[in-house]
């Protein structure tokens, strides 16, 4: 504090704001109308706009919001106080179609005046700039004053913030701080008065509503949930530029603000737009759109905007927190985290736009966050710190496919992907085919969507291994992929469907692990699993054949199954019967039946339970299938475009029930979950590329050539079954080879005659996945194979025997 006092002259004030530390903070709306940032890495700041006002600002010291809300208040001091979010109608558009510069024109409901706001970032400093112009009835404007009301939410939370009024270079401003993060707010014409208050007690809105005048002028507020107010005298100026600056110290924040305000706004805007033009959108994709490329340009820029500027290559899932208006500081993560799944979707979409360097940055970033065992945390902060820790096999397989795609287009530069790929493939071998969590992050078992990604990842890893060269590893990984593919339908379908009477055999959402297998839940029961987020009193335990999702379409996407495969076609009949919602803007699908992750049935926000709603991303996935099947995909492209907000933001979920105006819920429009969902924007961009190419962009040619043919046309057959201590086989088909796999060097001691004779097979190193031993049994043998494992290096035995019935149909 001494350093701040030495640097800046403190203004006379009324002392500290009263009212204590303030009410508990709440996040603002998760429905973002726009995401804005400069394309230059020098800017290091992002912000979002909701309801026509500045919503949240992000500073990459940590990727968490630094403000909760900033809006303007207007009053003539006698007859009205207008709040932007409640008392105006908005017109919204982008200043330039290829730049994330936003213009909002707000009209007073009484028709007396309009407020035009242009939002950009300083292209060279972490400063948000907002130019404001007022027009209208001169008699009204001459009496009006404007108040900037800012709620600092520094270092990821509303509690514990501090602020003071300051004077710098002869101008009044406000300075807020918490831990190492500092924020300043000032205006080029200078605030005539300022106040630092507590939200809910001494804030500027409460002050003005009392008597339409600014009575509070508190010079300091410490350790609370704050609201800072600055007065602008409109009788002296009808146009001004307001700046909010962030820094890792008071001097950095204040000097950044003053540097930005010293440059005319029009020059900032010119540079801002020029920078975005350097990242021009892929205009050839516009030919496949139904809106002349508008959403394509926005989606391209939104994806780019979600790459961090301090940790290049780190793409977060969204600059939003689902149902953020109903959450407080206990939900720090939201979607401001890296999910490998979402990030690969973003990187692949940019690869579809020809942005090879950006995709490579993403891959290199992931290589730096890979764990020693080859895996990735379920999600993590941009600095690599894990947040949730579940095991999701698709999140390990996706980076392999990105590495393969970049390798095939010569986009790796000098980056050697083989060690990275080998370690990730080893982790897949260790755990597949059972995942702790599937792509919806809730259930364990055999997932069609997860296994589709795993198969594709293993084939890509085998191709890379063959080229490095590591032929034994390549052969092993391909055999492992073949083994999963051969059992895929057996593991992930039901022959006793109950959802559509005429379809008994179809894919299910997930088949839970069997007793004795990894991640089996004895409380759920065999063949059953518990669904998360169900409301109190609702059924949450279901049999696998009762729950479906469309994740099996990933099999078609990667080329593992043909679009006309009878099982795919029949499964889609069930999906459309159970999950399809025809909205006023086009068809949309829910994730799975009985999903609880969504707005509550009465329209209230999701808080621990709700009703899963329709996801626009699933409309994009269905459009990809229709393209592969030769169907009509254009209405689905149009539907995705119509699900976007007026600012072009695609929501995670749309409200899929009748209108509830009192709750802000309208059929087919955004619900309260994340908006934008970057994954949805990536899916849309890839869809346009697929349509332009006439084939699915995500298709893995290796998978299509090997599996994407009718079974009777295949030229090979998998003859290997894999045995692991964690997932011991109980039976294998006649004529199959048994390959035992473990991470350490081992010996298999085995017999086929009740230990009258004993065989010993030593394992061989296959690479980072570990060791494998192949047991060769006599031709035509059927009966019991007994085996046990010994690790010579530590002279350790597994401690019991395993029995495998040979010659029986595999279970």
Active site residues per annotation: 438, 441
Among 510, 492, 505, 487, which Cα is nearest to 573's? 505
Helix count and strand count (H, E) for the chain = 19, 36
Residue ranges in 552-671 assigned as alpha helix (H): 553-557, 566-579, 616-629, 634-643
> Contact, 643 vs 654, CB < 8 A?
yes
Q: How far apart are CA 336 and CA 16, in angstroms?
A: 34
Q: Structure tokens of 81?
A: 């106080």
Specify the DSSP class assigned to residue 169: T
> Contact, 336 vs 157, CB < 8 A?
no
Residues whose CB falls within 8 Å of the CB of residue 694, separated by 6 or more in sequence, listed in order = none
Q: Are strands 34-37 and 9-10 parallel, antiparallel or unpaired?
A: unpaired
Q: How far apart are CA 709 and CA 698, in angstroms?
A: 18
* Helix pair 448-467, 418-431: axis angle to 10 deg: 140
Specify the DSSP class assigned to residue 652: S
> Contact, 508 vs 544, CB < 8 A?
yes
CA atoms within 13 A on the CB side of 455: 33
Q: How far apart are CA 186 and CA 119, in angstroms?
A: 15
Q: Which residue bears the tokens 């009748």?
A: 658
581 — phi, psi (to 5°)? -125, 125
DSSP-derived 3-state class of residue 625:
helix
Q: How far apart are CA 257 and CA 187, in angstroms?
A: 9
Residue ranges in 262-387 assigned as alpha helix (H): 265-278, 294-305, 340-352, 356-369
Q: Structure tokens of 190?
A: 């200078």
Residue ranges in 370-523 assigned as alpha helix (H): 393-408, 418-431, 448-467, 471-492
Q: How far apart are CA 730 and CA 753, in angstroms?
A: 17
CB atoms within 10 A of CB 677: 25
Tell me the CA end-to-end span of the chain in Å, nearest whole number. Answer: 70
Burial of 12 (0-12, 13-18, 19+ CB in 10 A): exposed
Dihedral of the CA atoms 52, 58, 59, 65 (nearest 10)? 120
Q: How far apart are CA 74 and CA 97, in angstroms?
A: 31
DSSP-derived 3-state class of residue 115:
strand
- What b-and-e string marks burial along 143-175, b requiring 16 or more CB atoms within 10 Å of the CB? ebbbbbbbbbbbbbbbbbbbbbbbbbeebbbbb
């Amino acid at each position: 504090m001494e350093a701040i006092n030495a640097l800046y002259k403190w203004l006379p004030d009324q002392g500290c704001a009263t009212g204590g530390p303030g009410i508990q903070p709440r996040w603002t709306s998760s429905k973002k109308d726009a995401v804005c940032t400069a394309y230059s890495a020098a800017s290091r700041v992002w912000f979002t706009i909701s309801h026509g006002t500045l919503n949240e600002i992000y500073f990459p010291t940590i990727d968490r919001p630094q403000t909760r809300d900033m809006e303007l208040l207007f009053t003539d001091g006698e007859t009205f106080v207008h709040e932007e979010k409640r008392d105006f109608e908005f017109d919204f558009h982008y200043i330039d179609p290829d730049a994330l510069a936003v213009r909002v024109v707000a009209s007073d409901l009484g028709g007396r005046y309009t407020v035009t706001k242009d939002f950009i970032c300083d292209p060279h400093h972490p400063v948000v700039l907002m130019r404001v112009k007022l027009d209208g009835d001169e008699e009204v404007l001459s009496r009006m004053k404007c108040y900037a009301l800012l709620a600092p939410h520094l270092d990821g939370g509303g509690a514990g913030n501090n602020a003071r009024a300051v004077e710098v270079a002869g101008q009044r401003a406000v300075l807020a701080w918490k831990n190492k993060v500092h924020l300043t707010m000032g205006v080029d014409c200078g605030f005539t008065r300022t106040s630092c208050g507590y939200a809910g007690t001494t804030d500027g809105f409460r002050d003005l509503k009392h008597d339409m005048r600014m009575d509070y002028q508190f010079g300091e507020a410490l350790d609370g949930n704050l609201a800072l107010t600055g007065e602008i005298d409109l009788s002296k100026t009808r146009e001004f530029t307001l700046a909010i600056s962030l820094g890792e110290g008071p001097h950095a924040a204040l000097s950044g603000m003053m540097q930005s305000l010293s440059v005319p706004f029009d020059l900032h805007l010119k540079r801002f737009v020029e920078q975005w033009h350097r990242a021009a959108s892929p205009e050839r994709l516009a030919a496949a759109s139904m809106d002349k490329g508008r959403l394509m340009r926005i989606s391209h820029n939104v994806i780019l905007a979600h790459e961090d500027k301090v940790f290049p290559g780190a793409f977060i899932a969204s600059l939003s927190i689902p149902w953020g208006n109903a959450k407080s500081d206990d939900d720090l993560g939201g979607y401001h985290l890296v999910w490998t799944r979402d990030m690969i979707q973003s990187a692949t979409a940019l690869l579809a736009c020809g942005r090879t360097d950006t995709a490579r940055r993403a891959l290199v970033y992931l290589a730096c966050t890979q764990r020693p065992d080859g895996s990735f945390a379920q999600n993590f902060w941009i600095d690599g710190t894990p947040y949730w820790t579940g095991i999701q096999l698709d999140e390990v397989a996706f980076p392999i496919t990105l590495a393969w795609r970049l390798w095939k287009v010569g986009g790796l530069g000098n980056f050697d992907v083989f060690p990275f790929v080998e370690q990730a493939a080893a982790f897949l071998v260790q755990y597949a085919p059972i995942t702790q969590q599937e792509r919806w992050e809730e259930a364990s078992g055999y997932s069609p969507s997860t296994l589709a990604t795993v198969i594709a990842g293993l084939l890509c890893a085998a191709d890379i291994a063959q080229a490095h060269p590591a032929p034994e590893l390549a052969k092993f990984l391909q055999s492992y992929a073949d083994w999963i593919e051969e059992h895929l339908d057996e593991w992930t379908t039901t022959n006793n469907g109950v959802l559509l009477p005429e379809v008994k055999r179809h894919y299910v959402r997930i088949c839970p692990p069997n007793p004795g297998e990894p991640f089996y839940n004895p409380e759920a029961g065999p063949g059953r699993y518990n669904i998360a987020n169900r409301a109190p009193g609702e059924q949450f335990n279901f049999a696998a054949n009762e729950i479906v999702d469309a994740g099996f379409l990933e099999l078609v996407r990667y080329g593992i199954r043909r679009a006309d495969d009878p099982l795919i076609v029949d499964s889609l009949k069930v999906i459309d019967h159970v999950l399809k919602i025809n909205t006023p803007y086009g068809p949309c699908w829910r994730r799975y039946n009985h999903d609880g992750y969504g707005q509550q049935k009465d329209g209230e926000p999701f808080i621990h339970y709700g009703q899963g709603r329709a996801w626009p991303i699933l409309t994009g996935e269905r459009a990809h299938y229709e393209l592969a099947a030769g169907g009509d995909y254009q209405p689905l492209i149009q539907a995705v475009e119509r699900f976007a907000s007026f600012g072009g933001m695609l929501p995670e979920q749309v409200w899929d029930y009748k209108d509830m105006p009192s709750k802000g819920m309208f059929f087919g429009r955004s619900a309260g979950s994340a908006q934008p969902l970057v994954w949805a924007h990536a899916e849309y961009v890839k869809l346009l590329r697929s349509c332009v190419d006439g084939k699915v962009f995500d298709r893995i040619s290796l998978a299509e050539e090997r599996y994407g043919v009718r079974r009777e046309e295949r030229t090979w057959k998998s003859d290997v079954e894999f045995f692991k201590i964690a997932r011991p086989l109980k039976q294998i088909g006649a004529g199959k080879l048994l390959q035992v796999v473990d991470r350490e060097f081992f010996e298999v001691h085995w017999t086929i005659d009740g230990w009258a004779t004993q065989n010993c097979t030593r394992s061989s190193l296959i690479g980072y996945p570990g060791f494998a031993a192949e047991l060769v049994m006599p031709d035509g043998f059927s009966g019991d194979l007994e085996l046990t494992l010994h690790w010579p290096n530590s002279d350790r035995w597994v401690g019991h025997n395993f029995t495998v019935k040979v010659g029986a149909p595999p279970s």
